[in-house]
Amino acid sequence: MNPLHRREFVRRLGLSAASLPFLLGLPSLGLAAPARPRQRLIVMFSPNGTIPAAYWPDELGAQFKLKEILAPLAAYQDRLLILRGLSNKVRGDGDGHMRGMSCLLTGIELFPGNIQGGSDSPAGWASGISIDQEIKDFFQSRPETRTRFGSLEFGVGVTDRADPWTRMSYAGPNRPVAPISDPYQMYQKLYGQLKDKEDLRSVLDAVRDDLKKVGKLISVEDRRLLAEHEALVRQMENEIAAAGTQKLRAAPPVLETGIADQNDNVPRLSRMQIDLLVNSFVNDMVRVATLQFTKSVGMAKMNWLDITDGHHTLSHEPDKNEAAVAKLTKINTWFCGELRYLVDKLARTPEPGAPGTMLDNTLIIWTNELGKGNSHTLDNLPFVLVGGGWGFRMGRSLDFQKTAHNRLHLALAHGAGHRLETFGKAALCEGGPLNLA
Amino acid sequence: MKSAFHSILAHLALGGALGLALGSVGADGAERPANGAAVYRQACLKCHGKAGEGVKDKYQDALQGDWSLDRLTHYIEKKMPEDDPGKCVGPNAEAVARYIYGAFYSREARARRHPVRVELTHLTNRQYVQSVADLLGQFNEPGTAPVRRMGGLQAVYYASRNTQRSEVTVERVDAQVNFDFGTNAPAGGAVPTNGFAIHWRGAVRADETGEYEFSLQTPNGVRLWVNDETTPLIDGSVASGTDNEPRATLRLIGGRAYPLRLELVKVPYNFKAPKNPNSAIVLQWKPPHGARQVIPARNLSPETAKPTFVVAAPFPADDSSAGYERGAGVSKAWDEATTRAAGEVAAYVVKHLDRLARTRSADADRAAKVTTFCGEFAAAAFRRPLTPEQNKGFITAPLAGAPKLEDGVRRVVLLALKSPRFLYPGWDAGKPDDFTVAERLAVELWDSLPDAELRQAAARGALHEPAAVAAQARRMLADARTRTKLQYFLQQWLQMNRVEDLSKDPLLYPGFTPELIADLRVSLNLFLEDVVWNGASDYRRLLFDRELFVNGRMARFYGYEFPPAAATNDFVKVAADPARCSGVVTHPYLLTEFSYAKSSSPIHRGVFLTRNIVGRSLKPPPMAQVFKDADFDPNLTMREKVAALTRPAACQACHSVINPLGFSLEQYDAVGRFHAREGGRVIDAGVDYPQEDGSVVRFQGPRAVAEFAAGSADAQTVFIEQLFHQLVQQSVAAYGPDVLDRLRQNFLASGCHVQNLVVEITTLAARQGYPSTTAVKKQL
């Protein structure tokens, strides 16, 4: 059996032990227009490097032509910011994949540890917070940007293990945040309260009847106690009814049932997670999210693309293996297609209580832990930004020529109004935030 | 009371002279017997009220207590009325005393005036948590045998990171997990080249209910599972930085064993640039009321245990206004807590539905099996079979009304656990039947639900006769839950849960560490358990046994002989000096608890001994007084300081009793160590104790006090009454005016056998209101 201890319950039931009164206190959902436009951030990750030749546009500036991998985003070219020349310059313990992954959003060294990669010295977790969590904490610290969850970490086929290859979000040093790969678990986290409330509401009437029935069978003196008890149940009924008048802006998405967390289900799992993500944004439960496809060294077998090799194995093939290059291009293009699905959804959803669409106020960063799979380089990390609302001038292709990626994180913090001096390893922040305006 | 009249002296004066003929002489000149009621009206009512209830700004306390009629008479003759003592004597004093005694003063009079009844009460928090645990436990691996053998975990050592059978080097029981292997092979022999692994399996037993913080100290990769076989409590598979002590907290119910699994993996030493070539592991916990320590062997078992469901929802504290926890009254917070807890159970049941209902997701008859499970679940929660009508209301209707089977199950669980039939155990609609008897027994002895045997006995109608009920109670004694409940009672009796911080001034008491304090508690718990669960189960041993459980640390600090063969954190029973050791009375845990940080506290010790050991009641102090050591001449002994502080007559009403009892322990310092001298002066442990009847007994030290208490009817009565209240959660007065006395007589006849007393109390309370001839089935 699998008894749930406290943390588990809180997680699975979506209830915080401190969240009182019971099942009430859902966020107020008649969303008024915010004083400042909402800002949202999504970091989407796919692993094992890209195929640079099929990825980076040849041109810089506002006039550029998308290559094969980014082609699915053609309709949004004016909303893109393609950032070439950013390097993960964090050194120290851990192999390229580990540092690629766990320093990607943290920009700081890994602790020494016991996890041994295929090369370099063993390492542990990152020694600092990641930028998504930093911005989440900043949003949560202010009433006007605070949301119920602050951030949500979505996974797709991540596999159930915890090591520096599988974690990119960190709540702090040595505090990796596990993505939730099971959409049903995520659904429970987001909407479990509603479900519980509905079930509770359906039985309270019967509970009151039962109290009355038992009350008739016992002595007059004791009946008073049950009458008080019944009054409390009635009170709970009323409170639930009152809370029920608060409507969600968007009903929970209807999920296909019985989709197991398995390799071949990745395309369907991906769409379910993206639906949940956008839904949680519409209901303003959260403004920061990560969407992590598999993991660094991920071995997804993309049978749905007629590719039967494991992704990581393929990524080690030399450039001259044209078949492998073609497959890897296809794989990365598929990821971009999932990004397109997300962007489309946001672009079709009006911003609640404000003009424009949700995409106008949402910045998506698609990234990868390596510049290129077979060299394990941490230079020219794929960074494509889509959307708006962060004060960046979109519709451009830029090259920063081996600039530390910490400076992008600083730019994100500043874009959120969080004016950090440095982020991650301070020495890598020289020059301050990238100027993307 | 014992002191109501004392304090009259202290702080009030009866206005006006008592210039009245209290007896009367009739017209014929013959003396008529004094009329007690008339005397009372004339002389006492003004200050004491119509029925002794007290008068504001005069004498406020109610006139009630447990002095004998003689003593009461004697007191009135000597001291009343306060402003003119000696006015009410002879037949007048006798008459008014008889009137007061019979009208409202005595226990019997009070019971007559305010009849106490068995009240409807809901499950206490402890009962709720245990009931839910056992309710689900009934469907979860019901065949698993309880853990019996303690003493360590089963360990398997592998000569490689790969944990294949062929790599096993050693299998053994490790008493604790506390190893520093350095760069050596963990189980001897050559250092393995491909790293190594160690797996420990077994069970961990929680002594007390509460939050347990588990922690691991290791530079290696480790994972720890406790009470959950799928999700690790601590996932330290990534060792990272200097944060080598991952920890996590888990709520556990005392007296139960939980499955525990621990896996360590050491990566190869010879890997490139090893940061830490060492391996080591320490498995520690911080139990409730305890200090962080290596989990001792006595809490570890190599046997397997089944997991237990532990409710996480916090409940508001139980009503303790009557001196014991009971489920009196309902509040919004309580109703919400029961709802949250029911929600937890519902989520758990739905998640594990197939296993609980013994079905599989693809079974054609799954819905039928789930429906059967729902019926069994509700019957177990209600502690009796469902009537067809109940089956419809509690099972069929919610299942039919829900969009999906799982939703229906959730509703069944919510409905069952929100029902008064679950929440209010033992209610009887005026007609208790065998199921009522069974559920009361289970609550009284286990704080939980009837087990299969008890349910079957009820179904057979085999709980008619007192002997049959007592036989069940006796069988149930052997269960760990009874031990837990009794242990909790003893802790309440000894007030062991009142003070959380027992630490002392570290300059005055160096070495009196949190670890040592935790040891003292274990030592006292072991002693209590040893006495009660020994064949003789003799209450008197609690008071003056001369044996003590000590471990190495305690032995060193207190100067006990410790067997050299024993491991230093094992507890062994040692014989202590009978002149210095007298059961719980001199146990260092209690002596420490009833002390100040820098000195003993004769007042705290005296009050404890008065109320809980000697069994006399005390009124609240008439004025607040704080003991401030700095106010006194430093050359005075503590005894002299306290005597001076409590010298006022208002204090002496109670302190004439409290002080001598407290002073009898003055040879024990603030940490319970024996010391013959204080500041160079020999400590006087001889005291004069005034008995109820005014006579004085000389006690020389605590053993004399304990022996006096063991033979005292008051002391026995207090013990029995407190035990009754803890077991039954009802006032003993509701079971008849003579119940306490009858219980005490039988207790004495059995050689003060605590287990027998438990059986007698629970049998009596379980059968309350049971029809003597035929069983009546509840008609609901």
Query: What are the sequence ranges of the domains in chain A?
Result: 40-182+261-429, 186-258
**Which pLDDT does position A6 carry in this prediction?**
35
Looking at chain A from residue 233 to 262, which residues have their Cβ under 8 Å from any Cβ of chain B? 233, 235-236
Among residues B710, B743, B759, which one ends one of the domains? B710
Rounded distance between C-alpha atoms, residue B46 and residue B739, angstroms: 35
**Residue B747 belongs to some domain of the structure:** no
**Looking at the domain assignment, is residue B473 inside a domain?**
no
Determine the pLDDT at residue A29. 43
Extended beta strands in B685-730, E state:
686-690, 696-700
A chain contacts of residue B120, beta-carbon cutoff 8 Å: 218-219, 222, 225-226
Kindly state whether residues B263 and B377 are assigned to the same domain. no
Residue B387 clears pLDDT 90, i.e. is over it:
yes
Cα–Cα dist A232/B578, whole Å: 58
Q: How confident is the model at residue B562 (pLDDT cuts 50, 70, 90)?
A: confident
> What's the confidence (pLDDT) of residue B360?
92
Q: Which of A49-58, B654-663, B692-701 has the lowest mean pLDDT?
A: B692-701
Mean pLDDT, range A415-425, rounded to an integer: 96
The answer to whether residue B455 is domain-embedded is no
Task: Identify the residue with better confidence: B14 or B715.
Answer: B715
Q: How confident is the model at residue B86 (pLDDT cuts 50, 70, 90)?
A: confident
Could you list the beta-strand ranges (E) of A15-107.
40-45, 80-87
Asked if B414 and B346 count as a contact pair (C-beta separation under 8 A), the reply is yes
B443 C-beta neighbours (distance < 10 Å), count: 28
Between the CA of residue A310 and those of A181, A371, B528, what are the distances in Å?
19, 19, 64
Query: Which region among A333-347, B3-17, B680-694 has the lowest average model confidence (pLDDT)?
Result: B3-17
> CB distance from A226 to chain B under 8 Å?
yes
- Whether the pLDDT of residue B26 is over 70: the answer is no
Maximum average pLDDT range among A111-120, A195-204, B710-719 = B710-719
Backbone torsion region of residue A130, taken as left when φ is above 0, otherwise alpha when ψ lies between -120 and 50, otherwise beta: beta
The residue that leads in pLDDT, B364 or A118, is B364
B50, B170: one domain: no
Nearest to B616 by CA among B664, B584, B657: B657
The answer as to whether B439 is a domain residue is: no
Query: Measured on CA atoms in the order A352, A358, A360, A363, is the torsion positive or negative?
Result: positive
Percent with pLDDT over 90 in chain A = 70
The total number of structural domains in chain B stands at 4
- Cα dihedral B135, B141, B142, B143, rounded to 10, equals -160
Last residue of a domain, one of B423, B440, B455: B423
Q: B257 to chain A nearest CA, in Å?
A: 14
**What is the ipTM score, two decimals?**
0.80
pLDDT tens digits, residue range B190-209? 777 778 999 999 999 999 99
Residues B638 and B610 in one domain: yes
Between the two ends of chain B, the Cα-to-Cα distance in Å is 45
Cβ(B699)–Cβ(B686) under 8 Å? yes
Residue A55 in this model has a pLDDT that exceeds 70? yes
- Range with the poorest average pLDDT among A92-96, B242-246, B296-300, B412-416: B242-246
Phi, psi for residue A274 in degrees, rounded to 5: -65, -40
Average pLDDT, stretch B363-391? 96
Residue B183's pLDDT is 84
Of A160-169, B23-32, B244-253, the one with minimum mean pLDDT is B23-32
Query: Residue B687 — very low, low, confident or very high, per pLDDT cuts 50/70/90?
Result: very high
- Taking an 8 Å cut-off on Cβ atoms, the answer to whether B250 and A15 are in contact is no
Tokens, residue B366: 């799954």
Could you tell me if residue B443 is inside a domain?
no
pTM: 0.81
Torsion angle, alpha carbons of B164, B165, B166, B171, to 10: 120
pLDDT of residue A31: 52
- Shared domain for B173 and B250, answered yes or no, is yes
- Residues A197-204, mean pLDDT to the nearest whole number: 87
> A21: cis peptide before it, omega within 30°?
yes
Residue A247 Cα, gap to closest chain B Cα (Å): 21
B429, pLDDT greater than 80: no
Q: CA-nearest residue of chain B to A10?
A: B312
Is A379 buried (19+), middle (13-18) or exposed (0-12) by CB count in 10 A? middle
Chain B residues whose CB is inside 8 A of the A187 CB are: none
Q: Is the pLDDT of residue B698 over 90?
A: yes
Lowest mean pLDDT among A256-265, B105-114, B411-420, B633-642: B105-114
Helix (H) or strand (E) holding B81: none
**Dihedral sign from CA coordinates of A427, A433, A435, A436:** positive
Confirm or reject contact between A191 and chain B (CB < 8 A).
no
Percent with pLDDT over 70 in chain A: 91
Same domain, B582 and B663: yes
User: Chain A, 292-321: which have a CB under 8 Å from a chain B CB?
Assistant: none
Report which of residues B690 and B629 the model is more confident about: B690
Q: What end-to-end distance do the CA atoms of chain A give, in Å? A: 55
**B226 backbone dihedrals φ, ψ, rounded to 5°:** -135, 125
State the average pLDDT over residues A112-130: 86
Q: What is the CA radius of gyration of chain B?
A: 31
**Does B268 lie in the same domain as B174?**
yes
pLDDT at A159: 82
Domain co-membership, B669 together with B524: yes
Q: In this structure, what token pair is assigned to residue B618? A: 């005390």
Tokens of B759: 């059986």
Interchain contact A430–B (C-beta under 8 A): no
Q: Indicate if the pLDDT at residue B652 is higher than 80.
A: yes
Residue A383 backbone dihedrals phi, psi, to 5 degrees: -135, 110
How confident is the model at residue A353, as a pLDDT? Answer: 82
Quickly list DSSP for B670-694: TTS-B-SEETTEE---EEEEE-TTS
CATH number of the domain bearing residue B275: 3.90.182.10
Query: Tens digits of per-residue pLDDT, A301-360?
Result: 999 999 999 999 999 999 999 999 999 999 999 999 999 999 999 999 999 888 899 999
* Residue B515 confidence (pLDDT): 93
Residues of A in contact with B330 (CB under 8 A): 225, 228-229, 232
Distances (CA, A) of A10 to A13, A51, A129, B141, B311: 5, 42, 23, 25, 12
- pLDDT given for residue B153 in this prediction: 97
- A43-47, B151-155, B596-600, B646-650: range with lowest mean pLDDT: B646-650
Min mean pLDDT across A292-296, B21-25, B232-236 is at B21-25
Query: Tell me: the pLDDT tens digits for A135-158?
Result: 999 999 999 999 989 999 999 999
In CATH, what number is assigned to the domain containing residue B48? 1.10.760.10
- pLDDT of B498: 80
How high is the pLDDT of residue B633?
87
Chain A's closest residue to B419, CA to CA, is A207
Residue B158 shares a structural domain with residue B259: yes
The Cα–Cα gap between A108 and A91 comes to 8
For residues A425 and A196, give the distance between their C-alpha atoms in angstroms, rounded to a whole number.
45
B282 CA to centre of own chain: 31
Query: Does pLDDT of A8 surpass 50?
Result: no
- Give the confidence band of B3 by pLDDT, cuts at 50, 70, 90: very low
Q: Which residue has the higher pLDDT, B68 or B518?
A: B518
Average pLDDT in chain A: 88
State whether residue B244 sits within 8 Å of chain A by CB: no
**Does position B84 have pLDDT exceeding 80, yes or no?**
no
CATH code of the domain occupying A40-182+261-429: 3.40.720
The whole-number pLDDT of residue B775 equals 35
Amino acid B274: pLDDT: 52
Closest CB to B352 among A2, A196, A222: A2
Mark whether B526 and B666 lie in a shared domain: yes
CB contact under 8 A, B340 and A22: yes
Is the backbone peptide bond immediately before B81 cis, with ω within 30 degrees of 0? yes
C-alpha–C-alpha distance, residues B686 and B664, integer Å: 6
Report the pLDDT value the prediction gives residue B778, as an integer from 0 to 100. Answer: 36
Report whether pLDDT(B270) > 80. Answer: no
Mean pLDDT of chain B: 87
**H or E segment at B114?**
none
**Nearest alpha-carbon partner for B114 in B747, B774, B733:** B733
The rounded distance, in Å, linking the Cα atoms of A253 and A275 is 7
Biggest distance spanned by C-alpha atoms of chain B? 121
| Least confident residue range of B2-6, B66-70, B626-630 | B2-6
- State the pLDDT at residue A247: 67
pLDDT at A246 over 70: no
Regarding beta strands B279-286 and B210-217, do their DSSP bridges make them parallel or antiparallel, or are they unpaired?
antiparallel
- Residue contact B780–A1, C-beta within 8 A: no
Instruction: Tell which residue, B512, B505, B508, has the closest CA to residue B557.
Output: B512
Residue B449 lies in a domain: no
For residue B316, count other CB atoms closer than 10 A to its CB.
13
- B296 and B330 belong to one structural domain: no
Regarding whether B628 and B701 lie in a shared domain, the answer is yes
Helices (H), A218-265: 220-244
**Are B259 and B341 in the same domain?**
no
Give mean pLDDT, residues B395-410. Answer: 93
Residue B464 domain-assigned? no
Tokens representing B269?
């030493």
pLDDT band, very low/low/confident/very high, at B9 (cuts 50, 70, 90): very low
Query: Is B330 close to A232, i.e. CB distance below 8 A?
Result: yes
Domain assignment of residue B642, given as a range: 514-710
* pLDDT score, position A430: 96
- Compute the distance between CA of residue B574 and CA of residue A133 in angstroms, rounded to an integer: 57
Residue where one domain finishes, among candidates B260, B277, B301: B301
